[in-house]
Amino acid sequence: MEYFSRLIKRSTTNSDFNFHPKCEKLKITHLLFVDDLMLFSRGDLPSIRILMECLQEFRDVSGLAVNTAKSNIFTAGIQNDTLDEALAMTDFARGHMPVRYLGIPLAAQRLSVTDYSPLVDQIAGCIRKWTAKSLSFAGRLELIRSVLQGVECFWLQVFPLPMAVIEKIHRLCRAFLWNSKRAPVAWENICHPKEEGGLGVRHIQSWNVALLARVLWNIHCKADSLWAKWVNEVYLRGASLWDWQPKKDDSPLLRRLAEIRDRIITDFGSTEAAIRHMTEWTDRKGLVTSIAYEYFRPKLPKQPWKSSIWKAFIPPKYSFILWLGLRERLATRDRLAFLHEDPTCSLCINSKESAKHLFFECPFSSYVWSHIRQWFGINRRMSTLLSAVKWLKKGKTGSSVQNKARHLALACTVYSLWRHRNEIIFEGKAPNPDGLVISIKITVYRLILTLLPHGL
């Protein structure tokens, strides 16, 4: 490929070759990526002939030939007779925009929602593979955070995603997380850090803006990349990025970058202040997108219970159920009145089921809690999940292992009560408070052992 690049450069210098109008300033004739090659020229026959002669010579020297069945010629503004000759000369089929390159669509016009189908289909395909597996809420959440948002990232740093596409992605992720069309917690609330009561899933729109802000900064800094240089030469034409105004026929990406630039200037009050603040978002590698995301994302007040439930030593599935309980979003029978089911608590078969009753007021759960409290030497009675978590935060007495054991005991007991309740309802199991107490103790004991460096 190095040889081919030199061949192209030699053949297009001091010859009849004419550069593509958008490539002349930087003398761009070709782009290479692995086994993909893109050639650029003005749409005249002498220029096309020179490029084809280069391909022919390269084939004769290296033995590597172009696969004409997989190649296309894309044209604009060429007369039909010239186009026919060009097609005959190249033996390439005429291509039409949009065309996929490196997995993403290239288009001369604004992409439609349909053009984003490869992204949506890729996410849907991942979900179809996982739905057959038995995954907890926490497992599905981790897949959304790590895999799905990794798939999105490739597109988000190239395109300003339309809201219609973002909504499609939200619907797919929401249905996968809850395994239901009914979501206990709004997706907008999930897309907040755990400190603010969310689950740490990235807010797609804000992440898109943060990634595009890095592109904006690269143009401002005239980063050492061909694309940044090309934008500065062809579109800005020596003007400052902060004064430049996009034209109607400029690409949607450039117009979106201008919108982000204007938002930053408005937020900070002046161009100078905007540049100063964006400079603070950078390191030696450029603009740090995580810092930019923190600026652009929506904010909520911090929740006091985050530090007590999201612990590295607490199994994620326990933390997830405790999180739902603290948000009062567990599907207890008082919240399912629209289904016209029996509202009676399945543990005591006595009172109306609610989260407060299920976990603290029910004789069954009171019996379980009394044994767990006695096991840990806890005298304080707990009446709600929030009060229990607040007590954990305030009552930091004893060794580090003891404190961790208390956190584990709370999370494990809440999870076990909820699971036992579901087993009674959906699997027909008989209530067994003593068996549940033993199960909780064994689970906590095993988890504590993993925290000790050399065992007991």
- The confidence score (pLDDT) of residue 135 equals 85
The four Cα atoms 387, 391, 392, 395 give a dihedral, to 10 degrees, of: 180
Does pLDDT of 420 surpass 90?
yes
pLDDT-derived band at 395 (thresholds 50, 70, 90) equals: low
Q: How far apart, in whole angstroms, are the C-alpha atoms of residue 131 and residue 123?
A: 12
- The confidence score (pLDDT) of residue 307 equals 81
Per-residue DSSP letter, 35: T
Domain boundaries, the chain: 2-96, 207-296, 306-451
- Using alpha carbons, select from 405, 410, 417 the residue that is nearest to residue 449: 405
Give residue-wise pLDDT tens across range 290-349.
999 999 999 999 988 888 889 999 999 999 999 999 999 999 999 888 888 889 999 999
- The confidence score (pLDDT) of residue 383 equals 85
- The confidence score (pLDDT) of residue 179 equals 85
Q: What value does the mean pLDDT take over residues 275-288?
A: 95
pTM higher than 0.95: no
- The confidence score (pLDDT) of residue 456 equals 47
**DSSP code per residue over 243-306:** T----TTS-HHHHHHHHHHHHHHHHHSSHHHHHHHHHHTEETTEE-HHHHHHHHS---PPPTTH
- The confidence score (pLDDT) of residue 453 equals 63
Does pLDDT of 454 surpass 60?
no
- The confidence score (pLDDT) of residue 377 equals 78
Comparing 235 with 382, which gets the higher pLDDT? 235
User: Length of the chain, please?
Assistant: 456
Q: What value does the mean pLDDT take over residues 419-443?
A: 95
Q: What value does the mean pLDDT take over residues 134-145?
A: 87
Give, for 319, the enclosing helix (H) or strand (E): helix 316-326
- Using alpha carbons, select from 305, 239, 242 the residue that is nearest to residue 275: 242
Cα angle for residues 286, 291, 297 (degrees, 5° grid):
135
Summary mean pLDDT of the chain: 90
Residues near 118 by beta carbon (within 8 Å), at least 6 away in sequence: 100, 103, 104, 105
- The confidence score (pLDDT) of residue 412 equals 95
Does pLDDT of 284 surpass 60?
yes
Q: What value does the mean pLDDT take over residues 26-46?
A: 92
Q: What value does the mean pLDDT take over residues 415-438?
A: 95
